[in-house]
Amino acid sequence: MTEKALDHLVERLDGLAPTTALVLGSGLGGLVDQVKDAVRISYADLPGFPRSGVSGHAGEVVAGLFAGTPVLMLSGRAHYYEHGNAAAMRPALEVLAGIGVTKLILTNAAGSVDPEMGPGSVMLITDHINFSGSNPLIGEPSDRRFVGLTEAYDAGIRKAIEKAAAATATALHQGVYMWFSGPCFETPAEIRMARIMGANAVGMSTVPEVILARFLGLRVAACSVITNLAAGMTGAELSHQETKDMAPVGGARLATILQRVFQDGLPES
């Protein structure tokens, strides 16, 4: 299955050899419009790639030049809450590794646990807490499943993102992302717990991809776009519509940072 997708992708890329891939989260798909000479491939043509049914997620690979650098963007991801499969992104990430991608930057929409980090903020993830009760490596038979996550989020890529934010005068928060399974939003009590446990943001994605990426030997970094203060912090109820409406606000800031990262180039190690 993976080989077929790999062959098809290599054929469509026609010599383009991106070493960095971006996964675009809810409401962040607009970044694909900044890809020059874009080759667009629907997930439907790539066996093993997810069929994301979540509104706000397109489901296509877009490859080309971003700020002059070859890139491969995955617009749309599978979420654990869709089918209960934490490893749903494994075939797609295996294909990326197979075509020579070595660096992965993940993006997501998230709720903030910190009143000082409001909607529209961008947070560079420094570490995560897996509160989902699941793991994408459950069932993996080899000893490679015992992946170390002490330095899951690559120091070199993080530095490049920090530098790009400073160079473009774009505010960048940093913090810990806590993965809840979703699809319902958290309760106010869960958010109080998350804060006590050391989380700065909460969300329903990214952590399984980080684990899979480390399993596959990819260097990884991740950024959250804050769409809302988390449950119980404002008195208002949360909604997916709010996530979709607010993601482009922080998404524009994140796009500015990422453009600069690609313009300056990412360190090879």
- Among the listed ranges 97-105, 164-172, 196-204, 255-263, the one in contact with ligand HPA (CB under 6 A) is 196-204
Assign residue 84 a region (left: φ > 0; alpha: ψ between -120 and 50; beta: otherwise).
Answer: left
CB of 204 to ligand HPA, least distance (A): 5
Measured distance between the N- and C-terminal CA atoms of the chain, rounded to whole angstroms: 31
> By CB under 6 A, is residue 109 in contact with ligand HPA?
yes
The nearer residue to ligand HPA, 38 or 129, going by C-beta atoms, is 129
42 is in an annotated binding site: no
Residue 77 labeled ligand binder: yes
User: Whose Cβ is closer to ligand HPA: residue 109's or residue 160's?
Assistant: 109
Buried (b) or exposed (e) across 107-121, using 16+ Cβ within 10 A?
bbbbbbbbeebebbb
Using the rule CB under 6 A, which residue among 216, 238, 254, 258 binds ligand HPA?
Answer: 238
Nearby residues of 134 by Cβ (< 8 Å), 6 or more positions away: 80, 84, 86, 181, 208
In whole angstroms, give the CA distance from residue 38 to residue 8: 16
Q: Which stretch binds ligand HPA (CB under 6 A): 55-63, 85-93, 153-161, 223-231?
A: 223-231
Does the annotation list 79 as a binding residue? yes
Alpha helices in the chain (DSSP H): 2-13, 80-83, 90-98, 155-167, 188-197, 207-215, 240-264
Burial class (CB in 10 A: 0-12, 13-18, 19+), 266: buried
Distance CA 71, CA 108 (A): 18
Among 20, 52, 206, 227, binds ligand HPA (CB under 6 A): 227
For ligand HPA, the nearest residue by Cβ is 111
Nearest-approach distance from CB 205 to ligand HPA, in angstroms: 8
User: Considering the rule CB under 6 A, would residue 228 count as an interface residue with ligand HPA?
Assistant: yes
The H-or-E segment that residue 227 falls in is strand 219-229
- 230 known ligand binder: no
Does the protein bind ligand HPA through residue 185 (CB under 6 A)?
yes
- Shortest distance in whole angstroms from residue 177 CB to ligand HPA: 10
Which tokens belong to 183?
Answer: 């699809």
186 has binding-site annotation: yes
Please identify, using beta-carbon distances, which residue of 26 and 34 lies nearer to ligand HPA. Answer: 26
Residues forming contacts to ligand HPA in the complex (CB under 6 A) are 109-111, 180, 185-186, 202-204, 227-228, 230, 238, 243
